[in-house]
Amino acid sequence: MSRIGRALAHAVIRAYPRAWRERYETEIHELVDETDARLPDAVDLATGAIQRRLIGGAHMRFELGYRHPSAFAILALIIMAPTLAVALLSLVGHELGVGAVASVVDPLLASITAPRVIDLGLVVAPLVAFLLAALPLLDARFEQGDDGRMLALRVRALPVNLLVGAVAIILGASLIGHIITESVLQLGA
Amino acid sequence: MSGFGNNDPGMLVLVSLASMPRHGHAILLDVEAFADIRLGPGTLYGAIERLEGKGLIEPIEMVGRRRPYRLTEQGRSMLDGRLRGLEQTVRIGLQRVALGV
């Protein structure tokens, strides 16, 4: 039982924030071995890890995205590119009255979006793109302030991610607006 | 000084380090011996981190994979004040219990 407890305790230490581990990891692994840690010790360590994560000032952020924000912005752009292309062509064809474009786009769009899953994918893509572009910008953490515990939220000002995120929001909002308008018009007809 | 009751892990660690520098395991054994309290490793290192952050204890050179800690002057002064406060409370409390007041 103590072998399981010790193995668990060693595993739980890896759940502590990186900065904490850089400072204390070696000595606490040694302590776990010396004390022949048991299951309650693993639970005690897990409680400590949760406290460090939630109330000890540890950063809560999407680490992979935080380290590679541009890659996430490009991925977001790729994901919403088909929706963006369709929206732009429809805009040129219908709103700007370029008939030649409309006559090419409408049949093409009808055939592409015939399977519901592709139709749904085109609508959902801006939301996914927005999340991919915006997540690397967020860095939240709990801090002990004079007025108690505070949730401090910082947003990184990365132009590429902000631009892609804004395009995703505008695109998504336009699509939803378009779908609602179409539905209302169909109901009224 | 708030947050240091007589069973507070931070207080126990300070008392343990008052006589000599000790590493984590030695602190656990000492606390268990004088207070009959077994601190978990997470609780112990939570206390060590807080005390170190307040400048009440400091690490000294590692011995193998163990890192001993010692009381700073600030820590010793704080502990002294806190223990004297407790001593007074205990003395008055015992007198009142004895008198049945």
User: pLDDT tens digit string along A142-154?
Assistant: 766 666 667 788 8
Name the pLDDT band for A36 (thresholds 50, 70, 90): confident
What pLDDT is recorded for position B6?
Answer: 60
B100 touching A (Cβ < 8 Å): no
Q: In Å, how far is B2's CA from the nearest CA of chain A? A: 14
Query: How many angstroms separate the Cα of A185 from the Cα of each of A72, A87, A109, A136, B10?
Result: 38, 19, 20, 39, 69
Residues of A in contact with B51 (CB under 8 A): none
Question: Among B28, B46, B65, whose Cβ lies nearest the Cβ of A48?
Answer: B46
A45, B42 in Cβ contact below 8 A?
yes
B21 touching A (Cβ < 8 Å): no
Structure tokens at B15: 């008392």
Average pLDDT taken over every residue of chain A: 86
What pLDDT is recorded for position B2?
Answer: 45
Question: Among B25, B62, B64, whose Cβ lies nearest the Cβ of A31?
Answer: B25
Looking up tokens 């840690």, which residue turns up?
Answer: A37
Average pLDDT over residues B36-50: 93
Question: Among A20, A37, A51, whose Cβ lies nearest the Cβ of B41?
Answer: A37
d(CA A47, CA A52): 9
Close Cβ partners of A140 (under 8 Å, ≥ 6 residues apart): A59, A60, A61, A151, A152, A153, A154
What pLDDT is recorded for position B48?
Answer: 94
∠ CA A139-B46-B43, rounded to 5°: 130
Q: B41–A32: do the CB atoms touch at under 8 Å? A: yes
Neighbours of A99 (CB within 10 A): 9
d(CA B94, CA A134): 63
Q: A31–B44: do the CB atoms touch at under 8 Å? A: yes
Tally A–B CB contacts below 8 A: 60
Average pLDDT over residues A89-104: 80
State which residue of chain A sits closest to B26, comparing Cα positions.
A31
What pLDDT is recorded for position A151?
Answer: 78
Residues in chain A: 189
**pLDDT per residue as tens digits for the range A43-68:** 999 999 988 877 666 667 787 888 89
d(CA B36, CA A177): 68
Measure the CA dihedral A92/A98/A104/A106, to 10°.
60
What pLDDT is recorded for position B101?
Answer: 60
- Asked if the model's pLDDT at residue A113 lies above 50, the reply is yes
d(CA A153, CA A137): 10
State which residue of chain A sits closest to B25, comparing Cα positions.
A31
What pLDDT is recorded for position A38?
Answer: 87
Q: In Å, how far is B32's CA from the nearest CA of chain A? A: 12
3-state secondary structure A39-90: HHHHHHHHHHHHHHHHCCCCEECCHHHHHCHHHHHHHHHHHHHHHHHHHHHH
What pLDDT is recorded for position B68?
Answer: 95
- The pTM (predicted TM-score) of the whole model is 0.57
Phi, psi of A35 (to 5 degrees): -90, 0
Where b means 16+ CB within 10 Å and e means fewer, B60-89 reads eeeeeebbbbebbeebbebbeebbeeeeee
What pLDDT is recorded for position A127?
Answer: 95
Range among A70-79, A105-114, B85-94 rated most confident: A70-79
Q: In Å, how far is B71's CA from the nearest CA of chain A? A: 18
Residues of B in contact with A23 (CB under 8 A): 49
A22 touching B (Cβ < 8 Å): no
∠ CA A22-A28-A30, rounded to 5°: 115
Percent of chain B's residues with pLDDT above 90: 79
Beta-bridged to residue B22, according to DSSP, are B69
- Asked if the model's pLDDT at residue A97 lies above 70, the reply is yes
d(CA B11, CA A188): 75
Q: A45–B41: do the CB atoms touch at under 8 Å? A: yes
Residues of A in contact with B67 (CB under 8 A): 26-27
A121 touching B (Cβ < 8 Å): no
Looking up tokens 């963006």, which residue turns up?
Answer: A84
Average pLDDT over residues A79-98: 86
- Asked if the model's pLDDT at residue A76 lies above 90, the reply is yes
ipTM: 0.83
